[in-house]
Structures are given as C-alpha cells and as structure tokens.
Structure 1
Amino acid sequence: MEQELEVTVNGTSYRVADLNDEARSQVGNLQFVEGEIARLNAKLAVYMTAKIAYENALREALPRSLQ
C-alpha cells in the first residue's frame, strides 16, 4: 500500500491530497527548491574536494625551505 504524502507545518501534519490547489502548488515549489538545494550541496562537495586536492598539489609543488 502506497503511503500518503504528508507535509508538516508548525507541528501539524497535512495530507497533500487534502490541500487546496494553492497549498499543493506551494508544496511543489518547496519540493523543487529542496531538490535544487540538495543538487547544489552535492556540487559544492565536489568543488570543495577539488579545492583540497589543488591545495595539496600546490603544497607539494612549492620549493622546500632550507633550514
């Protein structure tokens, strides 16, 4: 049996199927934005990993100080 989609606002849960058109539209907007945020966070993780690799490569490429 498929579980009903629910949204919780201010501690109250609502079945999306029971919401009016405007509320369902806003739920869709929130789902879209949350998906975009997740996508951007994944992209940021890739860039941060690359940054660390470039920093490490730079450290290795720098001349060693004579002591």
Structure 2
Amino acid sequence: MSKITIDNTDYELDTLADEAKAQLGSLQFVDAELARLNAQTAVLQTARMAYSNALKAALPASPDGEVELMKLN
C-alpha cells in the first residue's frame, strides 16, 4: 500500500476518505502547476535578460558611454 506523510503523520492512501483523496489530488495539481510556473518564470527572466542585452548592443552609446535601460513593469 502507498503511504503519504502529512504533518509528520503517515496515512495509507487506500484508507483515506474520498474527500481527502480529492483534496490531496487538488493539492498535488497545484504543487505541479506552481513548479511549472516557476520554471516558466526562470525561462522568461533569462529571455528578458538576453533581449535586454541585445537591445543595449543595438542602441547608440550615450555621451558618457553608458546605456541604461528603464525598468518595464
């Protein structure tokens, strides 16, 4: 039988009520979605940095030789 540990207590999955199994399934879905979104955020932050660097390279330098990008929200 499969077990799950919640708050340091082990539970047999087969003995859980249907409502508990449904809540567990929902919690697992949300955890998976959060992991997916965190991975997507990391990819998008990396892409943003690459686009920012490419933009800086494509812009003419300011008189003092520095290029500063404004923050986009």
Shared fold per TM-score greater than 0.5:
yes
Higher helix share: 1
Gaps of 5+ in 1: none
Aligned to 1:43: 40
- Whichever residue aligns with residue 22 of structure 1, its letter is E
Q: TM-score, normalised by structure 2?
A: 0.72
User: Quick check: 1:29 aligned with 2:45?
Assistant: no
Aligned to 1:64: 61
Aligned to 1:15: 12
Gaps of 5+ in 2: 65-73
CA RMSD across the alignment = 1.7
SS in 1 for 2:24: helix
SS in 1 for 2:10: strand
Identity among equivalent positions (%) equals 50
- Whichever residue aligns with residue 46 of structure 2, its letter is T
- Whichever residue aligns with residue 32 of structure 1, its letter is F
Shift of 1:40: 1.1
User: CA-to-partner distance for each residue in 1:29-66, whole Å, 9 max, x for gaps?
Assistant: 11111111112112112211110101111221122244
Q: TM-score, normalised by structure 1?
A: 0.77
User: CA-to-partner distance for each residue in 1:9-28, whole Å, 9 max, x for gaps?
Assistant: 21112121111111111111
Count of paired positions: 64
- What is the rounded CA distance, in whole Å, between the counterparts of 2:4 and 2:49 in structure 1? 39
